[in-house]
Amino acid sequence: MFGASHDATVTNLALLALRGAFGAMIAAHGLNKFFGGGRIEGTAKWFESIGMRPGRLNALAAATTEVGGGTLLVLGLLTPLAAGALMALMVVAIVTVHRNNGFFVFRPGQGIEYCLMIAVVAGVVGALGPGSWSLDHAFDVWPHSRIVGLVTTLILGVGGAALQLLAVWRPPKPAA
pTM score, two decimals? 0.92
d(CA 68, CA 7): 31
Question: What long-range pairs does 47-53 form, CB within 8 A, spacing at least 24?
Answer: 49/172, 50/96, 50/97, 50/171, 50/172, 51/96, 51/169, 51/170, 51/171, 51/172, 52/92, 52/96, 52/168, 52/169, 53/168, 53/169, 53/170
Per-residue confidence (pLDDT) for residue 175, from 0 to 100:
75
Look at the chain and count its residues.
176
Predicted confidence (pLDDT) at residue 95 exceeds the cutoff of 70: yes
* pLDDT tens-digit readout, 48-94: 999 999 999 999 999 999 999 999 999 999 999 999 999 999 999 99
d(CA 21, CA 1): 29
Q: Is 172 left (phi over 0), alpha (psi -120 to 50) or beta?
A: beta
* pLDDT tens-digit readout, 3-54: 667 799 999 999 999 999 999 999 999 999 999 989 999 999 999 999 999 9
The DSSP bridge partners found for residue 169 are 52
Q: Is the peptide bond before 54 cis (omega within 30 degrees of 0)?
A: yes
